[in-house]
Every structure is written in structure tokens, then in C-alpha cells.
Amino acid sequence: MTSPAKFRKDKEIIAEYETQVKEVRAQLLEQLKCLDQQCELRVQLLQDLQDFFRKKAEIEMDYSRNLEKLAERFLAKTRSTKDHQFKKDQNVLSPVNCWNLLLSQVKRESRDHATLSDLYLNNIIPRFVQVSEDSGRLFKKSKEVGLQLQEDLMKVLNELYTVMKTYHIYNMDSINAESKLKEAEKQEEKQISRSVRQEEKQTPRSPDALTNIKIEEKHIRRSSVKKIEKMKEKRQAKYTENKLKAIKARNEYLLALEATNCCVFKYYIHDLSDLIDCCDLGYHASLNRALRTYLSAEFNLAQSKHEGLEMIENAAENLNANSDKQCLMVTYNTVFCPPARFDFQSHMGDTVAHICAQPPVQGELLQRCQQLQSRLSTLKIENEEVKKTMEATLQTIQDIVTIEDFDVSDCFQYSNSMESVKSTVSETFMSKPSIAKRRANQQETEQFYFTVWFFHPQSTTVLLG
Amino acid sequence: MTSPAKFRKDKEIIAEYETQVKEVRAQLLEQLKCLDQQCELRVQLLQDLQDFFRKKAEIEMDYSRNLEKLAERFLAKTRSTKDHQFKKDQNVLSPVNCWNLLLSQVKRESRDHATLSDLYLNNIIPRFVQVSEDSGRLFKKSKEVGLQLQEDLMKVLNELYTVMKTYHIYNMDSINAESKLKEAEKQEEKQISRSVRQEEKQTPRSPDALTNIKIEEKHIRRSSVKKIEKMKEKRQAKYTENKLKAIKARNEYLLALEATNCCVFKYYIHDLSDLIDCCDLGYHASLNRALRTYLSAEFNLAQSKHEGLEMIENAAENLNANSDKQCLMVTYNTVFCPPARFDFQSHMGDTVAHICAQPPVQGELLQRCQQLQSRLSTLKIENEEVKKTMEATLQTIQDIVTIEDFDVSDCFQYSNSMESVKSTVSETFMSKPSIAKRRANQQETEQFYFTVWFFHPQSTTVLLG
């Protein structure tokens, strides 16, 4: 048999279990605290979201009003122009069309940002309010369920405690009964061995004298043995009874142990997870819908803006000097239409209405014609040169004024850091040396163009020279 | 010969021409006035564009600052949280991730609108300033050229006037010379016929007496005829000379007429068009570039906004209750990890650690086992029912909270009228009867779910019953 020092004492086992249960209880409390904290954070987040969208709604409304004012300022100016015909005439010009579309775009953006503000206030914020209400309610109910589940779990642990202690008591009783039985068995053994030794000692004596003593002694010994046997029997019964009780108590303990472990497993693995699920019920989905409402609003705003910008893009592509010139000439046709042809007015019935090239003037006319022809052919060559120069000059100017220098994508490329943002665009468009050089070149070319135009001889006037 | 009443008088023709020239001169003046007006309108439009973008830059900067303040207000709150570990823990939760991205988006929009404002001020406005300068300069130069061209044209018209008058004078001289010549011819005829008649009358007279008279008379007659002939010759020469002059003058007139008509045609058809082209030189192209800079800025802003929104969209799609639950449980694993399994603690060296089912307890245990088994099978059926009910209830709630009610495209559909815009969104999201009904349904279902959960028996506790 092993020494008793190797067995843990009852008290030790009980104290260890009590500590274990205390730890579980503390953990359960922590769990509820943790859920409370999550609930608080959620309420705070939803409050922040509401505050955020309320403030942003104000900003959007402000922006919308400013844009509205801006558009109205210029539209009022156009409206105040009393001359409707003049207004109509101007509107056909491509730059005026662009300008009108710019103002329309501002009106459109104003309206869209007002709609955005409205959606924040009357759709998105109410959603967060709703989510907050739902979350609070669900947390409260989940906590109630959680408390009930924890109570049930603690009941189970306490049951185990009781059952374990019962096992200890019954097992101790069984051990005690066993040791008492063993003591009785020892006494019986002792008595039996003593009787045997005395009978062996009495053998050499006279038979008659000893017979009486022997009988007497035998009688005493027998009654003693019987007594011991009776005690042993009683103790045997007691032991059997206690042993059975101890076995039953151990069985109960083992069953309770199994059930407790199952309950603990179920609580930690299923119930806690279910509890968190219940707290979250609909939270993510509702949050998702609120955010998607925000996204839908923003994407629609972007879409609307894009459509407006495309109209301006289209108008900018249709900026056309030639068609504007035609429009101008049609609009002011009385100012630009050529006068009637100057006809020959015959004098006093002069019936000849053509050049006479008969002999008296023939020679002179022929000579003059030849001179003019030679002058014209020189001029023609000169004009071809001038024309080429002017066309080349014009092309240079066209190249300068149509240079594709309008892509500002770079200004919207930032480093990934969202914190330290200070726009680096500020270099003025005009301050770039390349642009200054280009402008100087443009003006010089333009000056040259006008000089050529101004001073080159007009072939039509040569006839009158 | 036609009657003189049929010829238009010189004065009439001259007056008509003068009126024609006067009209042309007035029209030329109108043309310059018209160009001046176009120039003024252009300058005004470019001024309006500058004012517009200056004001819009202010509005954008204002908007940017307000967005920045908004983001900072909430970011400061996050930053003030001293517990970095806690902050880090929170950031892994999907709703917190969405919230952080929302704030980033506001920062991004703030930065982009500041960039937009900057581009307005330092790129787009300088372009309009440039276009305005160029336009003014080109108008001035074109007007100079135009004045020169008009002066040339007037010179031509005046030349024609002179040449026409010369033709009139010379033609008149020619007509006069002709009539004088005709008069001389008539006189000569008369003289000749008179001589013939006198010679016939003198035939009956005596020859001698008459001879002297005859000779004398003959002499006189002859000298008279000679005189007339001489005069006629002189007049003939005069007439021939004047006739030639008249023909030459008419030729000059006809040539000048042709040249003038050519000049007029050239001026009205080519020069005026060239003049307007010169006024427009680069105007449309530069305006186009300025507008395309604006468009590039706006499209890039929209692009940047879109990218940010897509990040939020992605985060909203990743809103996930399950992964958040896992995160929470991992983060607070000491709070959520199950306790160690409760093991059998043997009492005082009790070597049996399993349930004894030998004869004395066998019957009882078997009976108990049968009872438990029958109770469990009943519970199992009940639980299956409860599980189905709960799953169906949960599905109902899921269906309610995942309803796709977030599309707000309708709010951005307007009638085409850009004037009368008053957003019609204002009906609160919550005020819709369908939503109120849905919410009531959601809460009822939720209540039912909790009731079922709260009251249905837990099979694990049955073992301890």
C-alpha cells in the first residue's frame, strides 16, 4: 500500500475546486463587462456617425447655398438684359454657350449638394438612430439571457461541489468501516491463535484434573470467539453498506463531472458565441445599408456632376471660330452684306457699254494691258510667297494656342499619407518659365503676321495704280 | 434718236452714286462698331469667367476648410485615446474600419477641393487673364488693319467718282463738238444750195454786164464756202479729238468700275472674314484649353472621390459579424477561453475513476439510464422544433435587416427645368409607413426569438435534473 502522504487531503481538493469556481465566476463577470464595453463603444460609434453626418449635412447645405448664390449672381445679370433678341443672338455663340453651361453646372451642383444634405438628415441619420436603438435593445436582452445562462452554469458548478463533498464523506465512511472491519478480523485471528497455543500447553498434564479446567476454558474461549465473530459480522455489514454508498456517491460525482464539463463546454463554445451573435443581430447589415445609402447618394451626386461636366466638355469641343463668325455675319447681315454691284451708267444715251479697243486707243490699251499683266505676274509670285509665310505664321500661332497643357492629374496624386497634406499645386500657371517663353513667342509671331498683312500690296488695287 | 427725257441727267447719276458711297461708308462704320461690341462682350465674358472662378475658388476653399475641421474633430478624439493597444484592437473591427475610412474620405475630399481652389486661382484664372489680354491686343491690331482696308476701299470709290465725272465731261464735250460739227455741216449745205439757186437766176441777164457781178459774187461765195469748210474742218478735228477723249474716259470708267467691284467684293467677302478671323485668332483654342483645365481638375477630383468611395464600399461589403466576433474573442481571449476541464479527484487513494455498474448498483443505473434516454429523445425532438423555429425567426430578422432599401437615385432625377429646383426628398426615411411597419415587425420577431431562447430547456442540464 502507498503511504497516506501521497493522497491529497480533502480540504486541499475542496479549496482547489472553490478557487476554480471563483475564477470561473470572475471570468463570467468579465464577459458581461466586455459585452457592456462593446455596447458602449457601439453606442458611441453610432453617436459619432450621427454627429458626423449632421455636421456634414450643414457643410453640404452651406456649400449648396454658396453655389446657388454664385450662379444667381451671374444669371441675374443675364436676366437683367432687357434686349431678348440680343440675348438670343449671343447665346448662339459657342463661348457664351460654354458660359451658360458653366452656370447651369453650378446650379446643378448646388441642387445635388442640397439633396445630399437632405439625405444625410432625413435618411442616413435616422438609420443610425435606428441601429443605435436596436443595438441597445438587443444588448439589454442578450445580457438578460447571458445572466440566466451564467446562473445556470453556476448552479451546475455548485451541484458538482455538493456531489464531490458527498463522495468524500461516503468514501471516508467506507474507509472507516473497512478499517474497523479489519480490526475485528485481526482480533478474531488473535483469539483463534491464542486458543490453539493453550491447548498445546495443557497436553502433558493428568487427564482428569485437567479435563474440568479445559472444558471451562474452552467455554470461555468459545464465547469470546463468538463475540468477536458477531462484531466482525456487524462490521462487515456496516462496511458493505458504506462501500455501496461510497460507490454510488462516486458514480454520482463522475456523472456530475461529465455533465458539468458538458455545460461548461456548451456555455463557452456555443452560448457565448450565440450571445455575441444576438448582440450583433442585424447590426452589421443595418450599418451596411446606412453606408450604402450614403454611397448611393454620393455616387449619384458624382454621376450627376459627371453628366453636367460632359455637357461642358461637349460645348468646349464645339468652340468654333468659323461657325461663330458665320453666326455673327448672319445675325448682323445688314452690316456685313456687300453693297449692290456698281453698274455702268451710260451718259446722255451713250450706247456703248464696253471697252472700246478700236485702232485709235488699241495700241495704248494693249501696251497698258501688257504692263498690267507683267506687274500682276510679279505680284502673283510675291503674293504666293506672302501667302505661304502667313499660313506658316498662322500655323505657328495655332500650334502655340492649341498646345495640350490642360491635364492637371498630377495635382491630384498625393503620397499615401493622409495626414500631412499641403497642396503643392500653388506654383502659378503663369509663373512657369516654359509658359512665359511660349507667350513671348506667340506675341512675336502675331506681330509678324500683322506686319506682313498690313504692308503687303493688294493686287486688286493695282488695277487702279 | 430717243428723246432727251429718256436720258438720266448727270446730276441724278452723280447724286445716286454719292448716296451709294455714303451708305457704304456708314456700313463700314457699323462694321467697326459691331467688332467693337463683340470685343466688349468678349472682355466682359472673360471678366465674368475670372470673377466666377475667383468666387468659386473661395467657395471651394471654404468647403475644404469645413471638411478638414469636421475630420479633425473626430480624428482628434481618436488620437486622444491614450491606450494604443485598445485603439489597435478596435481598428480591426469592421464597423470601426468603415468609420475610419469615412473620416479619411472627408480628409481626401477636403484636400481635393483645396487643390481645386488652388487650380482655379493659379491656373484657370491666369488663363482667362491671358485670353483677355490676347483678345484686346488682337482686336486693336485687327481694327487698325480694318481701318486701313476701309480707307483703301473709300479711295477706290472716290477714284471711281472722279473717273465717272471725267467720262461725263468728256462725253459732254464730245456731244457738243459733234453738234457743232453738225451745225457747220448744215451751214455748208445751206451755202452750197444758195449758190446754185443764184447762178440759175442770173442766166437770163446780158452776159457782159453780168459777168463782172458774177465774178464778184462768185468770189464772195467762194470765200464764204471756204470759210465754212474751214470751220467744218476745225469742228471735225475738235469732234474727233473730243470723241477720242470721251472713249478713253469711258474706257477708264469701265476699267475703274471693274476694279471697284473687285475691291468691294474682296473687302466684303475676304477682308471682313479675315478681320474677324484675326480678332478670333487663338481665342477659341485658348478658351478651350482653359475650360479643359477646369474639366481636368473636376474629373480628377471626381476620380479621387470615386476611389475613396470604393474603399468605403469595399469596407461596407466586409462588414462581418462573424469575423468581428472572432476578433473580439481573440483580443479578449483570457475573458472568453473556457476553463480547464474538471477532472476526477480521487478521494484518499480511491483507485476507481470510472462509473461502477456491477450488480449492486447495476439495476438502479440501468433504470436511470433508460429514464434519461427517454427524456433525452423527447428533448431532442423538442429541440429540433425549437431550432427550426429559431432559425426561421432569425431568417425573418435577417430578411428584414438586409432589405435593399438604400438606392437613392430617384432623389437625383430632376425635371429638366434648371430654374425651379426645390428638393423633394425631404420626406424622412423613418416617416414612410412601410418602414414603420417593417420596424414593428422586426422588433416583434426579435422579441419572439428571445422568448424562445430564454425559455426552452437546455438538454445539458437534464443530466443534472
Is pLDDT of A44 > 50? Answer: yes
What is the ipTM, given to two decimal places? 0.86
Query: Which chain B residue lies closest to A298 (C-alpha atoms)?
Result: B309
**What is Dmax (Cα atoms) for chain B?**
219
Query: Which chain B residue lies closest to A77 (C-alpha atoms)?
Result: B48
The contacts found for A193-200 with CB under 8 angstroms, 24 or more apart, are A194/A221, A195/A221, A195/A225
Q: Check whether residue B280 and residue B393 sit in a common domain.
A: no
Query: Which chain B residue lies closest to A260 (C-alpha atoms)?
Result: B342
Looking at per-residue pLDDT, the higher value among B86 and A313 belongs to A313
The 10 Å Cβ neighbour count of residue B321 is 18
Which of A4, A124, A409 is facing B300, going by the closest CB pair? Answer: A409
CA distance A94 to A310: 15
Tell me which residue range forms the domain holding A460: 368-400+430-465
Q: Which of A264, A289, A306 is the last residue of a domain?
A: A306
Does A338 fall in a domain?
no
Residues B255/A344, Cβ–Cβ less than 8 Å: no
Q: For B34-85, how does the pLDDT look when each residue is reduced to its tens digit (9 = 90+)?
A: 999 999 999 999 999 999 999 999 999 999 999 999 999 999 887 777 676 7
Map grid coordinates 481636368 to a residue: B296
Q: Check whether residue B258 and residue B392 sit in a common domain.
A: no
Across the interface, whether the CB atoms of A256 and B464 are under 8 A apart is answered yes
Containing A382, the helix (H) or strand (E) segment is helix A359-401
Cell of B446: 426579435
CA distance B399 to B414: 32
Q: Check whether residue B292 and residue B437 sit in a common domain.
A: no
Q: Check whether residue A244 and residue A383 sit in a common domain.
A: no
Query: Which chain B residue lies closest to A358 (C-alpha atoms)?
Result: B247
Q: For A182-228, how does the pLDDT look when each residue is reduced to its tens digit (9 = 90+)?
A: 888 888 888 778 777 776 766 555 666 667 777 777 787 778 778 88
Q: Check whether residue A182 and residue A70 sit in a common domain.
A: yes
Does B125 fall in a domain?
yes
Does B312 fall in a domain?
no
CA distance A342 to B264: 9
Q: Check whether residue B168 and residue B47 sit in a common domain.
A: yes
Is pLDDT of B426 > 80? Answer: no
Does B119 fall in a domain?
yes
Closest among B352, B355, B339, B357 to A261, alpha carbons compared: B339
* Count of structural domains, chain A: 2
Across the interface, whether the CB atoms of A460 and B263 are under 8 A apart is answered yes
Q: Check whether residue A395 and residue A294 sit in a common domain.
A: no
Q: Closest approach of chain A CAs to the CA of B373, in angstroms?
A: 14
The whole-number pLDDT of residue B86 equals 73
Q: Closest approach of chain A CAs to the CA of B344, in angstroms?
A: 7
Q: Determine the Cα angle at A62 with ends A58 and A63, to 5°.
A: 120
Q: Check whether residue A373 and residue A295 sit in a common domain.
A: no
SS3 annotation, A420-462: CCCCCCCCCCCCCHHHHHHHHHHHHHHHHHHHHHHHCCCHHHH
Could you give the percent of chain A with pLDDT greater than 90?
47
Q: Closest approach of chain B CAs to the CA of A115, in angstroms?
A: 6
Map grid coordinates 505657328 to a residue: A396
Query: Which residues of chain B lie closer than 8 angstroms to A460, CB-CB?
Result: 259, 262-263, 266
Q: Check whether residue A34 and residue A160 sit in a common domain.
A: yes
- Beta-strand ranges (E) seen in B130-242 are none
Domain with residue B106: its CATH number is 1.20.1270
The whole-number pLDDT of residue A6 equals 61
Model confidence at B136, pLDDT cuts 50, 70, 90, reads very high
* Distance, CA of B342 to chain centre: 81
Q: Determine the Cα angle at A196 with ends A190 and A202, to 5°.
A: 135
The whole-number pLDDT of residue B202 equals 62
Does B290 fall in a domain?
yes
Q: Which of A306, A324, A342 is the last residue of a domain?
A: A306
Domain with residue A88: its CATH number is 1.20.1270.60
Q: Check whether residue B28 and residue B141 sit in a common domain.
A: yes
Cell of A237: 455489514
For the residues B83-96, what does the mean pLDDT come to?
Answer: 79
The whole-number pLDDT of residue B95 equals 95
Please give the radius of gyration of chain B, using alpha carbons only, rounded to the nearest integer. Answer: 59
Cell of B221: 461765195
For the residues A409-427, what does the mean pLDDT come to?
Answer: 59
Does A336 fall in a domain?
no
Determine the residue type at B206: S
Please give the radius of gyration of chain A, using alpha carbons only, rounded to the nearest integer. Answer: 59
CA distance B284 to A440: 19
Which of B86-95, B145-154, B324-333 comes out lowest in average pLDDT?
A: B86-95
Which of A362-371, B361-370, B419-428, B444-453 comes out lowest in average pLDDT?
A: B419-428
Is pLDDT of B18 > 60? Answer: yes
Q: Which residues contact A216 (CB under 8 A, 6 or more apart)?
A: none
Give DSSP secondary structure letters for A405-421.
Answer: ----GGGG---S-SSS-
Give the single-character DSSP code of B417.
-
Which of A115, A119, A283 is facing B321, going by the closest CB pair? Answer: A283
Give the single-character DSSP code of B177.
H
Across the interface, whether the CB atoms of A256 and B284 are under 8 A apart is answered no
Residue A442 CB-half CA count within 13 A:
24
The 10 Å Cβ neighbour count of residue A41 is 15
A-B interface: how many C-beta pairs under 8 angstroms? 519
Residues B141/A450, Cβ–Cβ less than 8 Å: yes
Does A350 fall in a domain?
no
Query: Which chain A residue lies closest to B317 (C-alpha atoms)?
Result: A288
Residues B275/B38, Cβ–Cβ less than 8 Å: no
Q: For B252-262, how does the pLDDT look when each residue is reduced to its tens digit (9 = 90+)?
A: 899 999 999 99
Model confidence at A3, pLDDT cuts 50, 70, 90, reads very low
Query: Which residues of chain B lie closer than 8 angstroms to A27, CB-CB?
Result: 334-335, 339
Residues B400/A285, Cβ–Cβ less than 8 Å: no
Q: Check whether residue B272 and residue B387 sit in a common domain.
A: no
Across the interface, whether the CB atoms of A108 and B418 are under 8 A apart is answered yes
Model confidence at B453, pLDDT cuts 50, 70, 90, reads confident
Give DSSP secondary structure letters for A198-237.
Answer: HHHHTTTS-HHHHHHHHHHHHHHHHHHHHHHHHHHHHHHH
Count of positions (residues) in chain A: 465
Is pLDDT of B125 > 90? Answer: yes
Q: Closest approach of chain A CAs to the CA of B302, in angstroms?
A: 7
Looking at per-residue pLDDT, the higher value among A151 and B231 belongs to A151
Query: Which residues of chain A lie closer than 8 angstroms to B282, CB-CB?
Result: 397-398, 400-401, 442
The whole-number pLDDT of residue B458 equals 57
Q: Which of A266, A281, A306 is the last residue of a domain?
A: A306
Q: For B287-297, how does the pLDDT look when each residue is reduced to its tens digit (9 = 90+)?
A: 999 999 999 99
Is pLDDT of A423 > 50? Answer: no
Q: Check whether residue B390 and residue B259 sit in a common domain.
A: no
Which of A45, A145, A295 is facing B95, going by the closest CB pair? Answer: A45
Is pLDDT of A420 > 70? Answer: no
Which of B250, B285, B344 is facing A254, going by the closest CB pair? Answer: B344
As a whole number, the mean pLDDT across chain B is 86
Model confidence at A457, pLDDT cuts 50, 70, 90, reads low
For the residues A105-130, what does the mean pLDDT come to?
Answer: 95
Burial A107-127 (b: 16+ CB within 10 A, else e): bbbbbbbbbbbbbbbbbbbbb
Across the interface, whether the CB atoms of B414 and A62 are under 8 A apart is answered no
The whole-number pLDDT of residue A189 equals 82
Q: What are phi and psi of A95, to 5 degrees?
A: -70, -35
Does A357 fall in a domain?
no
Give the relative orientation of helices B94-119 and A283-317 as an angle to the nearest 10 degrees: 20
Q: Which residues contact B189 (CB under 8 A, 6 or more apart)?
A: none
Query: Which residues of chain A lie closer than 8 angstroms to B27, CB-CB?
Result: 334-335, 339
The whole-number pLDDT of residue B368 equals 87
Residues B162/B259, Cβ–Cβ less than 8 Å: no
